[in-house]
Amino acid sequence: AQTVTQSQPEMSVQEAETVTLSCTYDTSENNYYLFWYKQPPSRQMILVIRQEAYKQQNATENRFSVNFQKAAKSFSLKISDSQLGDTAMYFCAFMNPLLNTPLVFGKGTRLSVIA
């Protein structure tokens, strides 16, 4: 069974600084997808970034980028130039598309951006 581990329950960062959220996963599969979702307080969960395991290039979306280390089974999220609106729960998630298995979520990291 696949598992996703987020080892940082809470983190904080100063506005305009850079922060990295860690995520590791365990799988015996070679083809899979990884996701970072953001859930602001009392607001909707939105997709931040998605990475296909077969792609060597790390995904980026504006201020958000990932460091995908397939051999180490690591998928960290870097947020550059942190903004107050980045304050949220961040969930790392794994999916094996060939087995059509549900998303497997990590326990989440609560990020606070401090002015």
State the residues that interact with another protein by CB under 8 A. 33, 35, 37, 43-47, 50, 89, 91, 95, 97-98, 100, 102-103, 105-108, 110
CA-nearest of 110, 92, 85, 94 to 2 is 94
Strand partners, 88: 111
Tell me the closest approach of the beta carbon of residue 105 to another protein, in angstroms: 4
CA-nearest of 56, 51, 61 to 92 is 51
Based on CB atoms, which residue is closest to another protein, 56 or 100?
A: 100
Coil/strand/helix, residue 21: strand
The CA–CA distances, whole Å, from 47 to 27, 29, 105, 115 equal 22, 23, 13, 25
Based on CB atoms, which residue is closest to another protein, 75 or 91?
A: 91
CA-nearest of 11, 19, 59, 3 to 35 is 59
Tell me the closest approach of the beta carbon of residue 16 to another protein, in angstroms: 27
Based on CB atoms, which residue is closest to another protein, 64 or 105?
A: 105
Tell me the closest approach of the beta carbon of residue 40 to another protein, in angstroms: 11
Based on CB atoms, which residue is closest to another protein, 17 or 26?
A: 26
Tell me the closest approach of the beta carbon of residue 88 to another protein, in angstroms: 12
